[in-house]
A and B are shown apart, each in its own frame.
Chain A
């Protein structure tokens, strides 16, 4: 293992290493901690993963959801301490690693076939 990875792993604690493996096309729910003053609560963000990017402690993923008629995209750093849990709801069958074309699709076309688990 190269030295950068060793250093990055030293900062990621064990609970965070348990994140499930997911990729573009999967539907996930991100449980995100939000701090309001001194209180902390968890907000859920459910949508389709458009891409995962980076490696190690700098890995991020983009989630897109439709909020009413408006598309909302959020980029989450996977190993951020604010991410409580990433839940995979559905495995999607897509042929690209980055499905930006998904933004243009509406209605019946904006559906992703479910992948049967190998």
Chain B
């Protein structure tokens, strides 16, 4: 899929024409620079590499610097690879939020907020023990049984237990595009997207 790199700005709510209050997320999408064009002949597959967000030259390795120089652009913080666009793009081109002008839906990939070590109630939406009485004591958020006893005499792999939660790559499909604001590279989508404010996102067309 073709896409762009962006940044989550934050959430707000707007009114639709019918008067419904719609929760929405404001995303800064692009402008992205084409830093490499991969072709069938040279790389075995075709794709384009995009760069987004400025970074200082002193924080860039010599190897990266040469790579960006080839594309004739300043060093970029985020670099991803996306499928080729319908229209031809060449090295050093700038892609803006305009590519979403005719797409009613987008898919957004991001890293969810890290929540640290969490129990099963938060991590997997277990119910815990709903009773405070009937002999229950300090088991309100416990996971319950892990399985049967003599057979299989072990805990199955992949049993859902407490552990590190969040901080995963999450993709949300088909978010409705409410507005594209090309003057300030903004994209307003309905609903929420993964991650904290200011975190990087990939917006797939």
Contact = CB atoms under 8 A, between A and B. Distances in A.
Interface of A: 3-4, 6-8, 10-11, 56-58, 77, 79-82
A107 to B, nearest CB: 38
Interface string B170-185: 0000000011010010
Contacts of A58: 12-13
Contacts of A57: 12-15
B14 A8 contact: yes
Interface residues of B, number: 19
A81 B15 contact: yes
Given A11-B178, A81-B18, 16 more contacts: A3-B9, A4-B9, A4-B10, A6-B181, A6-B184, A7-B26, A7-B179, A10-B179, A10-B188, A11-B15, A11-B188, A56-B12, A57-B12, A58-B13, A77-B21, A79-B15
Nearest to A6: B184
B202 interface: no
B1 interface: no
B32 interface: no
Contacts of B18: 81
Contacts, number: 49
Question: Residue among B12, B13, B17 with the most chain A CB within 10 A?
Answer: B12
Nearest to B184: A6
A89 to B, nearest CB: 25
Interface string B87-114: 0000000000000000000000000000
A1 to B, nearest CB: 9
- By Cβ-Cβ distance, the 10 closest A-B pairs, closest first, are A11-B14, A7-B26, A3-B9, A81-B19, A82-B19, A6-B184, A7-B188, A57-B14, A4-B10, A7-B186
A56 B11 CA distance: 12
Interface in B27-57: 28
